[in-house]
Amino acid sequence: MTFPSTRRLRWRLAAVVGVLATVSVMVPGMGPTAAQAATEKKISAWLPYWDQARAYQSFVDNAHLYDEVSPFWYEMTSATSILRYPNAEDLDVISGIKSRGVRLIPTINNDFDAGRVSTMLSSSVTRTAHVTALVNLVTLNGYDGIDVDYESLAATDRDRYTAFISELSVALHALGKTLTVAVHPKTSEPGNWSGPQAQDYAALGRAVDKLRVMAYDYHWATSGAGPVAPLSWVDDVARFAASQVAPEKVQLGMPLYGYDWVDSTGEGVTYEIAASRMQTHGATRQWSQTDAAPWFSYTAGGKTHTVWYEDAQSIAAKLPIVDRHGLGGAVFWRLGGEDPNVWAQVGGDVLWTQNAGESSDEAVVAPSVPTSLVAKARADAVALRWQAATDANGGAAGYEIYLSTSENGDYTKVASTADTTFVVPALASRTTYRFHVKAYDGAGNVSAASNVASATTRR
């Protein structure tokens, strides 16, 4: 996951809640075959405690994908002191996770404070005390393990950090518990700044059950504007991690967020916020083929804003990297406000399935989900536009338009079109309408629904 630091001021976060997951890669609407069961991919996703209700609902909506949940509920403040964040140990969340047969592995972070970790690592006595505190946290709460996310450490603590993780691993494994560790991205050892330099991929990989490589923030809150996770760089990060650690232990970090920059000052934004600003300011979604990332620009208050973010299309482009390097799965930052179409890609992505060595029958593979649906009201009509979907043959045959007049009501199919724009006519004035779009192919297979876009007609 990503937090701000003095060196790289990222999206300011006080804590994180994590979700580890297993996804069966299958054609939508079909049960897993024996071959597909053998190529299951494990995914993880972090849920922020300050957005816990919405993030938890995202988990519930896609609970069939998950086998482990790692709520990031804790912060280490010293070797023996652990802070519990607001909403930590929520009994409804815990029971909801367990009732779905999902394992619970909470996350602990250091709030980017290298000093407190250095103090803990400074002697075998304090290291042991911290190991004991973490093991007690796990056992007293009946957790299945712990997820450690200590970031922005001092490079000089590299060997001592490895010793601590190794000692914690031994203690947890003796109790049949799991240990996962989040690490900064790098493409060579020791890394280009102190954070990754403190993390010895090979040594940590031998000790942990999963090494979660945070392959994002290539551009960050105090850099110039640019893609958060450009495709070729993510591939390089994955390739290096797989060369240092048993690939099946590596989970590749993927972002679900972006930044809104003015010059070199960026504000962290969710997909939901980015999409809203694009619509509010009448901006047009752009696509960087090289980076496999969407972006747009707009002007507000006399200043030019540039927004790079992640959506279902950019995630779909990254998923094959997992198989290309034989990795154990992917880890997503963060749930809550993400493009909901991401999970259709994760749960039934054609490229991921095919790169895993699966055979696919184009006659039963649905097109990808249309993205970035925007609705603009007219007097008695609403104009819609969206990004094109793809299918196994390169493009969807057409699109179905669905309408609802209730926030939680049923949607009714009102039209079909071969274009990526459509005007829904003859609507009542001063009425709010909600729309989503589905893609279909020549065989009649239909995708999942796009994002919902709404508009209120005028007089």
The pLDDT tens digits for 199-258 are 999 999 999 999 999 999 999 999 999 999 999 999 999 999 999 999 999 999 999 999
Q: What pLDDT sits at residue 47?
A: 78
Give the Cα separation of 450 and 373 in Å (integer): 7
For the cut 50, the answer to whether the pLDDT of residue 29 exceeds it is: no
For the cut 70, the answer to whether the pLDDT of residue 456 exceeds it is: yes
Tokens 């990332």 belong to which residue?
293
Q: What pLDDT sits at residue 59?
A: 85
Q: What pLDDT sits at residue 120?
A: 98
Q: Which CATH code of 3.20.20.80, 3.60.110.10, 3.40.50.1220, 3.40.50.300 fits the domain covering 17-258+310-355? A: 3.20.20.80
Beta strands at 432-440 and 453-456: parallel, antiparallel or unpaired: antiparallel
Tell me the pLDDT of the chain averaged across its residues: 84
Q: What pLDDT sits at residue 357?
A: 39
- Average pLDDT for residues 427-432, to the nearest whole number? 87
- Average pLDDT for residues 410-419, to the nearest whole number? 81
Task: List every span in the chain annotated with CATH 3.20.20.80.
Answer: 17-258+310-355
Give the Cα separation of 340 and 92 in Å (integer): 23
- Average pLDDT for residues 421-446, to the nearest whole number? 84
Q: What pLDDT sits at residue 231?
A: 95
Give the Cα separation of 213 and 216 in Å (integer): 9
Q: What are 255's strand-pairing partners? A: 333
Q: Which of 65-79, 277-291, 355-369 has the highest mean pLDDT?
A: 277-291
Fold of 369-456: Immunoglobulin-like (2.60.40)
Task: List every span in the chain annotated with CATH 2.60.40.10.
Answer: 369-456
pLDDT-wise least confident of 97-111, 161-175, 398-412: 398-412
Please tell me whether residue 277 adopts helix, strand or coil conformation.
helix
Exposure of 450 by Cβ count < 10 A (0-12 exposed, 13-18 middle, 19+ buried)? Answer: buried
Confidence at 259, pLDDT banded by 50, 70, 90 = very high
Whole-Å CA distances, 380 to 222, 377, 402, 430:
45, 8, 17, 9
Q: What pLDDT sits at residue 268?
A: 96
Give the Cα separation of 75 and 84 in Å (integer): 7
For the cut 90, the answer to whether the pLDDT of residue 134 exceeds it is: yes
More confident residue, 54 or 390: 54
Q: What is the pLDDT of residues 348-403, one digit of tens each?
A: 644 444 443 333 344 446 778 888 999 999 878 899 999 988 765 557 888 889 89
Q: What pLDDT sits at residue 26?
A: 29
